[in-house]
Structure 1
Amino acid sequence: MTAVSIFHLEMLCLEQFNPKLDAKDLTVIKAEKQQFEFNKFLYQFVGSAWQWTDKLSWTDEQWQAYSEADNLHLYVAYFQGSPAGYFELQQQAQGNVEIMYFGLGNRFIGQGMGGYLLSQAIENAWTLSGTQRVWVHTCSLDHPSALLNYQARGFKLFKTEIE
Structure 2
Amino acid sequence: MLPDGYSDVPAGKLAAVVTCLEMSAPAERHVEIDQPGVALSPVEKADPAWYRDLYRRIGAQWLWTSRLAMADAELAAILHHADVDVFAVMRDGRAEGLLELDFREEGSCELAFFGLTEAIIGKGAGRWLMNHAIARAWSRPQSPIRRFWLHTCTLDSPQALGFYIRSGFTPVRRQVEVFDDPRLTGALPMNTAPHIPIL
TM-score, L = length of structure 2: 0.74
Deviation at 1:162, TM superposition (A): 2.3
- Which of residues 81, 106, 112 in structure 1 aligns to 2:93? 81
Structural mapping, 1:44-63, within 5 Å: 44-63=56-75
Long gaps (5+) in structure 2: 1-8, 178-199
- Which of residues 6, 12, 23 in structure 2 aligns to 1:11? 23
- Look up the match of 2:55: 43
- Look up the match of 2:40: 28
Structural mapping, 1:90-129, within 5 Å: 90-128=102-140, 129=143
Label 1:31 to 1:52 Cα distance change in 2 as closer, same or farther (>3 A).
same
| Aligned equivalents of 2:104, 2:30: Cα separation in 1 | 23
- Look up the match of 1:140: 154
| Aligned equivalents of 1:104, 1:125: Cα separation in 2 | 19
Q: CA RMSD in A?
A: 1.8
Question: What's the secondary structure of 1:108's corresponding residue?
Answer: coil
Question: What's the secondary structure of 2:64's corresponding residue?
Answer: coil
Deviation at 1:59, TM superposition (A): 1.4
| Aligned equivalents of 1:18, 1:154: Cα separation in 2 | 9
Label 1:147 to 1:23 Cα distance change in 2 as closer, same or farther (>3 A).
farther
Q: Contact between 1:42 and 1:85, CA under 8 Å: does it hold in 2?
A: yes
Question: What's the secondary structure of 1:158's corresponding residue?
Answer: strand
Deviation at 1:89, TM superposition (A): 0.3
Q: Contact between 1:35 and 1:68, CA under 8 Å: does it hold in 2?
A: no
Label 1:108 to 1:90 Cα distance change in 2 as closer, same or farther (>3 A).
same
Alignment deviations for residues 69-119 of structure 1 (CA, whole Å, 9 cap, x no partner):
111101111223322201100003231000111100122222222111121
Deviation at 1:126, TM superposition (A): 0.9
Long gaps (5+) in structure 1: none
Q: Contact between 2:84 and 2:104, CA under 8 Å: does it hold in 1?
A: no
Alignment deviations for residues 34-74 of structure 1 (CA, whole Å, 9 cap, x no partner):
43333222222211121011222221111211211111101
| Structure whose residues are more often helix by fraction | 1
Matched positions, count: 162
Segments of 4+ in structure 1 off by > 4 A? none
AA aligned to 2:159 is S
